[in-house]
Structure 1
Amino acid sequence: MSPLSRYSLTPLAAVIFVIHSAYGAETINLSPQIVTANPLQQTALASPTSIVSGDDLVKRESGQLGETLRNLPGVSASYFGPAASRPIIRGFDGDRIRILRNGVGALDASSLSYDHAVPYDSANAERIEVVRGPAALLYGGSAVGGVVNTLDNRIPTAPVEGIHGGGEVRYGGADTTRSAAGKIEAGNGQFALHVDGNSRQFNDTRIPGHAHSSRQHAIDGDTRQHRVDNSDGRQDGGAVGGSYHWDHGYVGLSYDEYDGNYGSPAEDAVRIDMEQRHYAMASEIRDLEGPFSSVKLDFGHTTYEHREIEDGEVGTTFKNDGYEARVEARHQPFGPVEGVVGLQVASSRFQALGEEAFVPKTDTDSGALFILEDWQATERLDLTLGGRLEHTRLRPDAGGNERFENAESSHSFTAGSLSFGSLYTLTDIWSLAGTLSYTERAPTFYELYANGPHEATGTYEVGDADAEKEKSWSTDLALRFDNDRHKGSVGVFYSRFSNYIGLLGSGRYLDEDGAEVDAGDDEALPEYLYSGVKADFWGIEAQDHWHLAQTPYGEFALQSSADYTRAKNKDTGEPLPRISPLRLNTALLWNLQQWQASVGVEHASAQRRVPDEELSTDGYTTLNASLGYHFDLGDSQWLAFIKGDNLNNQTVRYASSILRDEVPAAGRSIEAGVKVAF
């Protein structure tokens, strides 16, 4: 493998997008196996996928998944400051994106609100897989937008011989991050042990100008500048796990903890104190006789709690206690047809306690059957068919709170989903991949029952107790190209919703008691409604990796990507909110023996397509660079690195962030670190 393959496919410059758009491929990485979308272990997939691992993960790493992944094609971030940033895929956020840990749902509260962090530090991940689009329905109807799966080997899935591990420290950035992480694994070929730990602290984020945009300043007169107040925080975690291996499988257990405390930039006096405890079990039995050749089991139980604290007093406490279990069984081949059938069950109890609670206590139970079949129809044509049938029941408990009088009866939904995929090899260089999917998603408890002020986001949210299932048709088509020196993709996607449940601004302002007030009132909160509307999403994604030259001065490559998404509320004709604009990225890569470097440009256009009640965002162009040096000390391998983001110190406001007019992204950032493996 070329040393250049350490870099995952970053961004497509406009010139390459125009000149080389015919050369495409929707797959971003060279890895031979994508676990999340590929239980059958094919080396090529119809689904558009991305993998981040190795040195590329080191360069991208942030404390939150949204910031770590936001430059992948089709992936943006909900950015609520450096401590809370969730991935958004193709304009889909919240419960439409499934975040998994080693294939099992995380059961946190990050989909409920933009200020709720994903309780996982990217420093723990060995690999992150992203599946774009509804082809990930094996993991639930809520994966209509895609799946993000973090893999950390806390339950070792392969035998371990001897002792090995690694560690990392880094310092710097626009928030003066201080972080350290390490792991160690030991085994004798049968028993394997894994231990890891991490700690991250960061200060208020530095920005180049005013925190509030000029348009927002005209409304509220805020003049704060150079820093985002109350954006500091910390997060700590650790895990211990082990497994037993034999010739035909393994079984293992793990336990991990996460603790965090961070400020909400939307409210100067609000902080969030978060903790999560997670137990997991995993097992796989292979080489079976009979109808199934292997069976895989994954189970996770999570206890989650976070407290929103204002002026030292706890205003609201959120708790989520539940489990998720999956069984996948791979059946024996029927001629050219291979497949997996499975069962998934989940149960959770979510509670919001306190006078400022805006959702009632709710028990959610679900069970699903799923299937994925692959048929190698011809030497050139591979076909896949997936299906899922899921039943969900929600049982709210208003607890005597008049605010939740609409939460007096349970709701049940049965959702069915189908996905068809094809991969056709045109020549040794060209291939064509496509998917067609129908997906149904049951509404979540907050989409049904929310009613009240959410202090941390500064909004008043109202659910729809009569909400129906979300239904959509989606299609994906990509042309792929790979001649070893030059590879890439260009693809289009389209999703049509007959009922899309969006969090949409009503244009009204309410006080904390739900009474309508003027926008200028001191207690005014913008009202946001969970509303079912007809909607269309469509867009383009492209990427390109071009090996330019091998010279005495090193290898040179150009790596580029582009994406564009449009989303429309067909009931009103308005654009849907928080959609990223056209984004273009390109980077020149250099590699000489132990040295590696990159210089890149990221551009995002202005986003003027916003609903009437929202403000538009300006475009930006930032300069980024990195330098790394690999060396060995004894039996250990080291990487020393320095990276700079937004080196031209531009004001960056993500159109996908609900706080874009109050909280810009970081200004000039320079961070250095060292990573070791032994």
Structure 2
Amino acid sequence: MSRPSQIRPWRLTPLAAALLITSPAYAIEVGPQIITANPLGSDQLASPSTVLTGDALTLQQKGSLGETLNKQPGVSSSYFGPGASRPIIRGLDGDRIRLLRNGVGALDASSLSYDHAVPLDPVNVDRIEIVRGPAALLYGGSAIGGVVNTFDNRIPTEAIEGIQGAGELRYGGADTTRSSAGKLEAGNGTFALHLDANAREFNDLKIPGYARTADERARDPQDGDKKHRLGNSDGRQDGGAVGGSYTWDDGYAGLSYSNYDANYGSPAEQGVRIRMKQDHYAFASEIRNLSGPFSSVKLDAGYTDYKHMEIEDGEVGTTFKNKGYEARVEARHQPIGPVEGIVGAQVTRSEFSALGEEAFVPQTDTDAGALFILEELQATDRLKLSLGGRIEHTTVDPDGGGNERFANANSSSSFTAGSVSSGAVYTLTPIWSLAATLGYTERAPTFYELYANGAHVATGTYEVGDADLSKEKAVSSDLALRFDNGTHKGSVGVFYSHFSNYIGLLGSGRTLNDEGAEDPDGIPEYTYSGVRARFAGFEAKDHWKLAETRYGNFALELSGDYTRAKNLDTGEALPRIAPLRLNSGLLWELDKWQARIDLEHAASQRRVPDNETGTDGYTTLGASAGYTFKVGGSQWLAFVSGENLTNQTVRYASSILRDIAPAEGRSVEVGLRTTF
């Protein structure tokens, strides 16, 4: 069962409550509207999309974004212990999944390596939107696998009257989390102010048995192998923000500043800790109900200054820095007959550097500019069509600084990537509808895929890039049958992506020393290589209203997903792909009480490259309960949540640390949330 938490106003807006039934949540149903998947605000979207908010997000929320979303259909976790994880969508990770904050990217180094956390505590998030499948049309080549967009209202977009806020405390879990958070918003109907702060501490994670697998212990016996604890997995996270906006009937404009500070251990190296800090400045504005060719214009911009240090035995080994900006503008044109659409532009700049003797990537400046268009046509009463395109130019300019290791980083590289996408939603009957997408997407390789060369201490691998890599190219499609008869609501869908050039971080089978020479006692070499690849699979979900009785309302939630990924050049499976997963949840509500029991099954994963290990299957049991009550003008929720109650050993096939870092064992957490 997922953990609770999240600071947000108690009442749910229609946008916030959209599509709650797509995730383990209590049954609140409001008309869907997802702006990440389609800024035109359509209630019928061809792209497979999910929104988490309210109790759904509260009961899913964990200390990292990847673990928070891990139970969503098609979404797995890169899991690097409780301190770091990033969402993986349909087997695609890193710079194929675009992480947005209020629609704009915030620079970090999470895509560079699995041990680099996303500098975001989900406790500050009001809503998370997930687009599964290519969203590069709107958000760039790094969304070739999907988008995860988080919203926090740090720049209020609607007028606020008076004072409102929220607070939360929680304790427990397998890592003995101690978390507190608070939010305060005030306004006079024109000016709005937002303040929030949070703090989280956690101990080494409790696990059912040994951290290392039996095969790993037999291959490399070590004295003092730890049992029941995942060593060096403790840490802390602190953050806060201040923002404000000026609102009027037809728009808003505002600014915000947020800070994130963390210190956590790397389970891959017992002597390595990571100290991270990020400062983010944002501006957002929208003007609606315009006359002339455009009916509305929306502008979002952000500047980020990010830094983290990898500290080994008290000494700083490598310091990563990333600063830069992203800005995008979207203009919605007036309807042209049955056609509605937007045109937009986006610019980004990133200045990345890795300092220290153990730096494995050179200093690099990356600049990108893009133009995009999206049009939507209500062709008939039953058929809605969409079509769009994007062109993006990227320049990657490295500076090896005279380091022989980066001799290949001696000149800049430029790439022009294009994407086109189409979609259709056809209403078969009032109950059934069919949704389909087809798109072609290109992605420019990143600086680390081009120029990496060196040992990465925190992950225990030696990473090697290829300066001659060409653009990543994929043709992708989705087909889903959706249904809603009042008792059952859900969908069954299949997806397929063919990459003519997939840039994967693939094990070479060699072991190297710190200088890059072959050494049987060294660390494994992983290379960024362009190969032909195929990804295919299915996703399904159903929310079934069982009964409404004097003893409460009962519902059943069922979901499942499966991804199969193959290296077509070698015939081998691609690494780090989640296996078949099946989930079921029994929900109960009565007056102020709510509860659920969850059962999750993951099959074993034996489809792995020859030089990698598979994972065993597992079945876990979870449960939670909550009670709502009022004190004066405030509303409260007291909750208890348990996960993996039978204390099963869980190793994620999607984690590079699967052989040495299992997921949490038996976990019980309690919490109290208030809103006013």
Normalising TM by the smaller chain, what interval?
over 0.9
Taking the aligned partners of 1:566 and 1:306, their CA distance within structure 2 comes to 35
1:144-182 deviation per Cα after TM superposition (whole angstroms, max 9, x unaligned): 110000000000000000000101110000000000111
The match for 1:368 is 370
The match for 1:475 is 477
Q: Which amino acid aligns with 2:378?
A: Q
Q: Which amino acid aligns with 1:461?
A: E
| Contact map agreement 1:107 1:320 (CA 8 A) in 2 | yes
Q: Which amino acid aligns with 1:618?
A: D
Identity of aligned residues (%): 71
Relative contact order (C-alpha < 8 Å, sep 6+): which is higher? Answer: 1
| Contact map agreement 2:19 2:32 (CA 8 A) in 1 | no
Matches within 5 A, 1:248-397: 248-397=250-399
Q: Which amino acid aligns with 1:479?
A: L
1:184-218 deviation per Cα after TM superposition (whole angstroms, max 9, x unaligned): 10001100000000000000000010100112122
Taking the aligned partners of 2:274 and 2:624, their CA distance within structure 1 comes to 33
The match for 2:614 is 616
Taking the aligned partners of 2:446 and 2:135, their CA distance within structure 1 comes to 21
1:563-590 deviation per Cα after TM superposition (whole angstroms, max 9, x unaligned): 0000000000000000000000001000
Taking the aligned partners of 1:11 and 1:625, their CA distance within structure 2 comes to 12
The match for 2:605 is 607
Taking the aligned partners of 2:186 and 2:442, their CA distance within structure 1 comes to 44
The match for 1:534 is 532
Matched, 1:649 2:647: yes
| Contact map agreement 1:37 1:136 (CA 8 A) in 2 | no
Matches within 5 A, 1:439-478: 439-478=441-480
SS at match of 2:544: strand
1:91-122 deviation per Cα after TM superposition (whole angstroms, max 9, x unaligned): 00000000000000021100000000000000
SS at match of 2:22: coil
Give the aligned length: 658
SS at match of 1:596: strand
| Contact map agreement 2:127 2:152 (CA 8 A) in 1 | yes
The match for 1:586 is 584
Matched, 1:35 2:35: yes
Taking the aligned partners of 1:651 and 1:6, their CA distance within structure 2 comes to 32
TM-score normalised by structure 1 residue count:
0.96
Matches within 5 A, 1:7-18: 8-10=21-23
Taking the aligned partners of 2:31 and 2:319, their CA distance within structure 1 comes to 42
Cα distance, 1:484 vs. partner? 1.5
Matches within 5 A, 1:90-489: 90-222=90-222, 223-489=225-491
SS at match of 1:488: strand
| Contact map agreement 1:264 1:272 (CA 8 A) in 2 | yes
Taking the aligned partners of 1:611 and 1:323, their CA distance within structure 2 comes to 38
| Contact map agreement 2:596 2:623 (CA 8 A) in 1 | yes
| Contact map agreement 1:360 1:398 (CA 8 A) in 2 | yes
| Contact map agreement 1:29 1:50 (CA 8 A) in 2 | no
Q: Which amino acid aligns with 1:121?
A: D
* Superposition misfits of 4+ residues, deviation over 3 angstroms: 4-12, 28-31
The match for 1:660 is 658
Taking the aligned partners of 1:272 and 1:630, their CA distance within structure 2 comes to 39
Cα distance, 1:11 vs. partner? 7.1
Question: How big is the alpha-carbon RMSD for the aligned residues of Structure 1 and Structure 2?
Answer: 1.5
Taking the aligned partners of 1:325 and 1:365, their CA distance within structure 2 comes to 12
| Contact map agreement 1:11 1:560 (CA 8 A) in 2 | no
Taking the aligned partners of 2:372 and 2:423, their CA distance within structure 1 comes to 16
TM-score normalised by structure 2 residue count:
0.96
SS at match of 1:414: strand
Taking the aligned partners of 1:467 and 1:502, their CA distance within structure 2 comes to 11
| Contact map agreement 1:105 1:324 (CA 8 A) in 2 | yes
Report the more deviating stretch, 223-232 or 470-479: 223-232
The match for 1:16 is none
Taking the aligned partners of 1:551 and 1:29, their CA distance within structure 2 comes to 19
Matches within 5 A, 1:34-53: 34-53=34-53
Cα distance, 1:30 vs. partner? 4.8
| Contact map agreement 2:19 2:51 (CA 8 A) in 1 | no
**Alpha carbons of structure 1 residues 205 and 8: separation in structure 2 relative to 1, 3 Å:** farther
Q: Which amino acid aligns with 1:353?
A: L
1:233-274 deviation per Cα after TM superposition (whole angstroms, max 9, x unaligned): 000000000000122211000000000000000000000000
Q: Which runs of 5+ in 2 are unaligned?
A: 1-11
Taking the aligned partners of 2:253 and 2:505, their CA distance within structure 1 comes to 42
Q: Which amino acid aligns with 2:599?
A: V
SS at match of 1:372: strand
Q: Which amino acid aligns with 1:280?
A: A
The match for 1:635 is 633
Taking the aligned partners of 2:426 and 2:229, their CA distance within structure 1 comes to 52
The match for 2:81 is 81
| Contact map agreement 2:420 2:441 (CA 8 A) in 1 | yes
Taking the aligned partners of 2:20 and 2:463, their CA distance within structure 1 comes to 42
SS at match of 2:81: coil
1:259-295 deviation per Cα after TM superposition (whole angstroms, max 9, x unaligned): 0000000000000000000000000011111100000
The match for 2:59 is 59
Taking the aligned partners of 2:309 and 2:70, their CA distance within structure 1 comes to 27
Q: Which amino acid aligns with 2:173?
A: G
Q: Which runs of 5+ in 1 are unaligned?
A: 13-27
Cα distance, 1:9 vs. partner? 3.2
Q: 1:513 aligns with which of 495, 512, 515?
A: 515
Taking the aligned partners of 2:579 and 2:29, their CA distance within structure 1 comes to 24
The match for 2:552 is 554
